[in-house]
């Protein structure tokens, strides 16, 4: 692989190899380029990315802390396998966090923000009309991301982003999507309506229920967890 030496060096001044590699690995994990439980070979990665093992190892320690990989002493780092139980637990967290986002956003939301969110709703409706899951999914993602961004609690937004990255590790995640697009977007419209009405508790309840709908459909009642 040939790299423009200037750009490579220019990047290095403001960013460490470790952070570049970490982002790259996160991207690869998000795109599912590794199998669950697969081992990351440090030598192979180092050779592939053209660096030494030091930055690779440092990047992996970051990934470990964010829950994307498991590190076993003397054996290596493995792409984390998220069990159904852990996914169910994550959905519960996500539900209350989105609920909080709605409660915070409703009192302060602006007309422009409502228009932005409504734009996403229309895009998703178009994807539904075209029966295009590949268009619906990123729209859905951006809709939720935007709400937590607007809510004013930056830490909440970070936490939601981290949970979302982690959810990519759960392979069966697509199950809740196929036939639910229309229902899902109806719930989205309801959420935006509550936000526009500055109804904090209503928006919180709608958002929480919206997430829990998927959780219950996939794993059963809240507080009960699948075995594996």
Rg of the chain taking only CA atoms, in angstroms:
20
225 binding a second copy? (CB under 8 A): yes
Cβ 98 to a second copy, closest distance in Å?
10
Is the CB of residue 86 less than 8 Å from the CB of residue 171?
A: no
199 binding a second copy? (CB under 8 A): no
How many CA atoms, within 13 angstroms, populate the side-chain half-sphere of residue 85?
Answer: 5
Is the CB of residue 101 less than 8 Å from the CB of residue 152?
A: no
Q: Which candidate, 65, 66, 69, places its Cα nearest to that of 80?
A: 69
13 binding DNA? (CB under 7 A): yes
According to DSSP, the residues that pair with 194 across neighbouring strands are: none
Residues 180/148/205/107 CA torsion (nearest 10 deg): -140
Options 32, 35, 38, 43; binder of DNA; rule CB under 7 A: 43
Show the site string, 158-187: x = touches a second copy by CB under 8 A, - = not.
-x----------------------------
Q: What does 90 bind: DNA, a second copy, none (CB cut-off 5 to 8 Å by kind)?
A: a second copy
73 binding DNA? (CB under 7 A): yes
Count CB atoms within 10 A of the CB of residue 150: 19
Cβ 223 to a second copy, closest distance in Å?
5
Q: Which residues contact 220 (CB under 8 A, 6 or more apart)?
A: 226
Nearer to a second copy, 28 or 135 (CB): 28
80 binding DNA? (CB under 7 A): no
Q: Which residues contact 37 (CB under 8 A, 6 or more apart)?
A: 78, 79, 81
- Site size for DNA, by CB under 7 A? 25
Count CB atoms within 10 A of the CB of residue 196: 17
81 binding a second copy? (CB under 8 A): no
Residues lying near a second copy in the complex (CB under 8 A) are found at 13-16, 18-19, 54, 57-59, 61-62, 64-66, 73-74, 86, 89-90, 92-93, 96-97, 99-100, 103-104, 107-108, 152-156, 159, 222-223, 225
Q: Name the residues that contact DNA, by CB under 7 A.
A: 9, 12-13, 16-18, 39-44, 50-55, 57, 71, 73-77
């Amino acid at each position: 692989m040939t790299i423009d030496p200037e750009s490579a060096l220019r990047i290095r001044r403001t960013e460490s190899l470790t952070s570049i590699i970490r982002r790259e690995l996160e991207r690869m994990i998000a795109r599912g380029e590794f199998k669950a439980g697969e081992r990351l070979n440090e030598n192979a990665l180092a050779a592939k990315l053209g660096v030494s093992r030091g930055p690779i190892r440092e990047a992996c320690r970051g990934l470990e802390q964010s829950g994307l990989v498991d590190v076993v002493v003397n054996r290596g780092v493995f792409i984390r396998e998220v069990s159904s139980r852990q996914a169910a637990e994550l959905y519960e967290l996500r539900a209350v966090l989105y609920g909080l986002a709605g409660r915070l956003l409703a009192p302060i939301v602006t007309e422009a923000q409502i228009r932005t969110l409504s734009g996403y709703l229309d895009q998703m409706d178009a994807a539904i009309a075209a029966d295009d899951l590949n268009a619906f999914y990123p729209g859905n993602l951006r809709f939720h991301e935007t709400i937590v961004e607007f809510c004013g609690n930056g830490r909440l937004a970070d936490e939601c982003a981290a949970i979302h990255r982690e959810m990519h590790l759960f392979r069966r995640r697509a199950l809740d999507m196929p036939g639910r697009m229309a229902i899902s977007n109806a719930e989205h419209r309801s959420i935006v309506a509550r936000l526009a009405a500055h109804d904090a508790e209503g928006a919180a309840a709608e958002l929480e229920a919206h997430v829990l709908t998927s959780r219950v459909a996939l794993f059963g009642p809240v507080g009960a967890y699948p075995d594996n």
